[in-house]
Structure 1
Amino acid sequence: MTTRGYCHCRATTWAFEGPPTWSCYCHCDDCRRNCASPVVAWLGMPLRDFEWTGAAPETRQSSEGVRRHFCATCGTPMGFEAAHYAGGMHLYAATMERPQTFVPEFHVNWQAKLPWLAMEDDLPKYDGTLLHAPKDLSDYE
C-alpha cells in the first residue's frame, strides 16, 4: 500500500509504503503555531519507508533537534523530523492525496487543547507527547 501527498502547488510531493506507525491529533502550542491551526492531524512512519517524490522541501531547524519541512515554492508545511523521534518522519495528514482516508487513533497534548475547540470524540486522550501515548511511539526501528 502506497500513501501519497502533496503541497498546495503540488511541487513538493511525498510517498510512503505500508501503514503509518501511528496517526493522531496534536494539541501542543508548537504544532498549532507552525500551522496556524487549533489542532494538527499527524501521520508517523519510519524514514526507511518514506521518500520525497517531487521537489525537495525547504528544511529549517525550528528548535533544538527539530527540522521542519516546507514546500520551497508555496510554503505549505509538510512535516518534521526530530532527534527525540529518531528514524521517523511526521507528516501533516492534510497534505495526504486523499485526506478523507485519515483515521486518527488518539489525541496527544490533550492538556493543551484550546478551550473553545469542540472535539468530543471517543478517541484516547493523552497529556503529553507521543512519548506518553500507550506505547512508546518514538522508536521507529
Structure 2
Amino acid sequence: MSTSSCTGGCLCGAIRYEGTGTPYNVSHCHCLDCRRANAAPMVTWVSFGIDDFHYIQGSPKEIHWAGRIRSFCPECGTPLTFLSSAQATEVDVTVCSLDNPEFLTPADHTWVEDRLPWVHVSDGLPAYPRERSSHTKP
C-alpha cells in the first residue's frame, strides 16, 4: 500500500487515528505477548514512523510494561498500537483497526517459535523464529 494517509479506529468509534506517509513492516506476529494482549492466535501489524502517526479523535488507554507501550480504546477495548523502546522511531498499528486493511499485504511471520500448534504457516511468506533481523522502512 502506497498512500499519503491511512485512517482507522476502534470498534465503537471513540478513537480515530491517522497514519501519514507509506506504511511498512506489515507482518503477522505470533509472540505470546501479542497473542495475549489481543486475545488472538496472531496479530497483523503495520508500522508508521512515530512522527507520522496521530490520534485525531479520543485518547487511548496505555499499558506500560517491559519497555513497551500498548494502547487500546478505554470504551470498547479494541487493541490499537504497540511501541517498543527497541524501535523508538516507529509505532506498530493493528492492521484490522485500519478502515481499509485489505489494501495491505503481509510480508512475513515473526515469532513463529511461539505460534500455537494448530496455527499452520503455509502461505509461502518468510517465517522467522523470532524477530526479523531488520525493520524495512520505505
**TM-score w.r.t. structure 2 length?**
0.91
Matches of 2:105 and 2:81, distance apart in 1: 18
Matches of 1:4 and 1:109, distance apart in 2: 27
Shift of 1:65: 1.1
Matches of 1:21 and 1:94, distance apart in 2: 15
User: Which amino acid in 2 is paired with 1:68?
Assistant: R
Deviations 1:72-99 (A, max 9, x none): 2211111111111112111100101012
Q: Secondary structure at the match of 1:124?
A: coil
Shift of 1:42: 0.3
Alignment map for 1:31-110 (pairs within 5 Å) = 31-61=34-64, 63-110=65-112
Q: Secondary structure at the match of 2:128?
A: coil
Gap regions ≥5 residues in structure 2: none
Query: Is 2:4 aligned against 1:6?
Result: no
The answer as to whether partners of 2:47 and 2:92 remain within 8 angstroms in 1 is yes
Matches of 1:54 and 1:77, distance apart in 2: 16
**TM-score w.r.t. structure 1 length?**
0.89
Matches of 1:65 and 1:28, distance apart in 2: 16
Matched-pair identity in %: 30
Matches of 1:47 and 1:13, distance apart in 2: 16
Gap regions ≥5 residues in structure 1: none
Q: Which runs of 4+ in 1 moved over 6 A?
A: none
Matches of 1:113 and 1:58, distance apart in 2: 27
Deviations 1:18-59 (A, max 9, x none): 221210000000000001100110001111111111101111
User: Which amino acid in 1 is paired with 2:6?
Assistant: T
Alignment map for 1:16-31 (pairs within 5 Å) = 16-31=19-34
Matches of 1:72 and 1:12, distance apart in 2: 9
